[in-house]
Amino acid sequence: MGLRRAAKTEEAPAEVDRATISEKREGFDKRAAGLQDQIDKISSELHGLMKEYKTAPASRKMLLKRKMQSLIQRRKGFEKRQKMITAQSNTLFSIESALDQVETVSMISKELTEVSKVIKSINPEGISAQMDQMADMMADIRDVTDDMTMAFDFDDDMMGVDEELDAELAALEQECIDEAFGAASDPVAAVSAPTTEEPATSAPVAPVSTTGGDPSEIDFDC
């Protein structure tokens, strides 16, 4: 008998229906709202009776007093029922919150389990080999890029442009310009400058006889 009782007590708890709990809580909330309407109506009626009680005659005051006492008792009953229903609604709300937390924890646990499986399936050596391959591939790409850059990067010397030679040529050209302008601006220097050309020689002129002789007899030898 003891074993049977123990077996009964170890039975798995019944699964909680989330939808049923939500429906019950909504029903409790509606009932609590209806009771609140009744309470407000009684409070409004009591307020009117109090105004009438202040100006009523003595014979009328006794009747109003009994009516107000009856309404106060009814209101207390509604308030008591409302508190009970509100407490039940709050309890169901707490259960719903707990179920939400349980679902959240369960989802997190499942995700962690999946992550753990993925981590266990990872081969560190394989990853290291892949990283090495990627590093080699990147190095090859850099080498190809450098070669292409060198092929299109013409140096100044290769293009026949030498900065030092350009500077010397520019200086020499400036000296020539300075000398040319200096000679043109100094006429004395231009006159006294020696010339390398030889003076032109004139042809010998035959003497002309004044005696009126024959021109053919003129002696051209000097």
* Residue 204 CB partners (closer than 8 Å, separation 6+): 220, 222
CA distance 28 to 86: 7
Integer CA distances (angstroms), 40 to 87, 125, 221, in order: 20, 76, 166
pLDDT, tens digit (0-9, with 9 covering 90-100), for 171-201: 888 888 888 776 555 555 444 445 444 544 4
* Residue 86 CB partners (closer than 8 Å, separation 6+): 28, 32
pLDDT at 4: 52
> Is the distance from CB of 156 to CB of 162 less than 8 angstroms?
yes
Q: What is the torsional sign of CA 133, 139, 141, 147?
A: negative
CB atoms within 10 A of CB 25: 18
CB atoms within 10 A of CB 56: 15
**DSSP per position, 66-110:** HHHHHHHHHHHHHHHHHHHHHHHHHHHHHHHHHHHHHHHHHHHHH
**Domain range annotation of the chain:** 14-122
* Residue 66 CB partners (closer than 8 Å, separation 6+): none
Q: Whole-model pTM?
A: 0.42
More confident residue, 53 or 10: 53
Q: Is 115 exposed, middle or buried (0-12, 13-18, 19+ CB in 10 A)?
A: exposed
pLDDT grade, residue 82 (50/70/90)? very high
- Interhelix angle 18-55/58-121, rounded to 10 degrees, is 160
More confident residue, 133 or 154: 133
